[in-house]
Amino acid sequence: MNRVAAATAALLCSLVLAAGTAAPAGAAVPALPEIPGVGASSKQVQQYTQMSSDAANDAWRRGYTALPQPVRDAVPREIRPAEPTTAPLPPAAPQQQRAFEPTPAPDTCANCVALTFDDGPVGDTSRLLDILDRMHARATFFVVGTNVNANPATLRRMQAAGHTIGNHTFNHPRLPLLTEGGIGAQLDDASGAITQATGTAPRWMRPPYGEYDGRVAAAAGARGMSVAIWDVDTEDWRYRDAQRTCRVAVDQARAGSVVLMHDIHPATVDAVPCIIDGLRAKGLRPASLDELIKQPAAGHVYTRRP
């Protein structure tokens, strides 16, 4: 079709030359002769032009546009080049959404168990953090303010790994024996140490020895903290036996349990790989308290997930 359009343009040019550029506007247009070599009449040329590809039409339009105005006027309308499409391009289609965007199942933590470690951080806490990292498990640390001040980098490591950090008072007294002012000072000093180390105030507290009364719960609640006790006591501090600690933790834990341990005892740290494997074998998932109980009520006492 390009040949047809080019032939048409050449023909028109020759007509122009023959007619002379001084032909007055409105002069009679000479009848188009047969196109040599093509054998097409002007009617057929018109059809070919309409049928031609966009490229052929573009070539013809360029040739036509180059003609002097009087000549262009002399070209019959039906064989003038089609106007280029001036309609705006349709807007770019929005980026197609992937048809099968994976939708993660909602994490209900239905099978979660909270492993909690009290009284640190101490030197061996780093070994425990190594184990939790290696086994991709999260836990909770109820830390004592004096130990926080001695090991602030360990707290930052807990935070970076996504473990929950809770307040276990500043120096581990029996809170019910203290005045309200004394209870408040223990909580405030420990929270201050944690905040200084990590930049984040704790929202959980655990009273030493699990001893609390209404004043302790109220003091925690007034500071935006919930009280975490436990429903599984491994008595790891009494026996200091890794196998026994593992057996008690795995046998007694059920979905939603809170397990009490102490990371100041090396035998407890030794038990942790066995505990994580054992819980997983039961279909349970070790998790942090923040994962297990996502929106705890301040001042409320939890022994496990309600």
Residue positions annotated with a catalytic role: 118, 262
Taken in order 57, 62, 64, 69, is the CA torsion positive or negative?
Answer: positive
Q: Does 299 bind Zn ion (CB under 5 A)?
A: no
List beta partners, residue 113.
286
List beta partners, residue 261.
117
Q: CB nearer to Zn ion: give 118 or 236.
A: 118
- Please report how close the Cβ of residue 302 comes to Zn ion at its closest, in angstroms: 17
Task: Answer for the pair 222, 299: CB distance below 8 angstroms, yes or no.
Answer: yes
- Please report how close the Cβ of residue 94 comes to Zn ion at its closest, in angstroms: 57
Of 39-47, 102-110, 115-123, 289-297, the window that binds Zn ion (rule: CB under 5 A) is: 115-123
Q: CB nearer to Zn ion: give 118 or 241.
A: 118
Q: CB nearer to Zn ion: give 118 or 189.
A: 118
From 101, 122, 154, select the one nearest 264 (Cα to Cα).
122
- Please report how close the Cβ of residue 134 comes to Zn ion at its closest, in angstroms: 26
Number of residues that bind Zn ion (CB under 5 A): 3
Q: Which of 32, 118, 190, 270 binds Zn ion (CB under 5 A)?
A: 118
Q: Does 119 bind Zn ion (CB under 5 A)?
A: yes
**Half-sphere exposure for 200 (CA within 13 Å, toward CB):** 14
Nearest residue to Zn ion, scored by beta-carbon proximity: 118
- Burial class (CB within 10 angstroms; exposed 0-12, middle 13-18, buried 19+) of 255: middle
- Please report how close the Cβ of residue 210 comes to Zn ion at its closest, in angstroms: 9
From 133, 115, 131, select the one nearest 236 (Cα to Cα).
115
Sorted by sequence, the CB contacts under 8 Å of residue 144 that are 6+ apart come out as 119, 120, 168, 169, 170, 171, 172, 190
Residues 175-214 that bind Zn ion (CB under 5 A): 208
Q: What is each CA distance from 241 to 9, 79, 100, 236, in whole angstroms?
A: 101, 101, 50, 7
Q: CB nearer to Zn ion: give 119 or 290.
A: 119
Phi, psi dihedrals of residue 92, rounded to the nearest 5°: -55, 135
Q: Does 263 bind Zn ion (CB under 5 A)?
A: no
Task: Answer for the pair 250, 279: CB distance below 8 angstroms, yes or no.
Answer: yes
Of 2-10, 105-113, 117-125, 176-184, the window that binds Zn ion (rule: CB under 5 A) is: 117-125
- Is the N-terminal amide bond of 121 cis, ω within 30° of 0? yes
Q: CB nearer to Zn ion: give 169 or 288.
A: 169
From 114, 124, 164, select the one nearest 147 (Cα to Cα).
124
With residue 306 as reference, give the H or E element that holds it.
none
Q: CB nearer to Zn ion: give 121 or 208.
A: 208
Residues at the contact surface with Zn ion, assessed by CB under 5 A? 118-119, 208
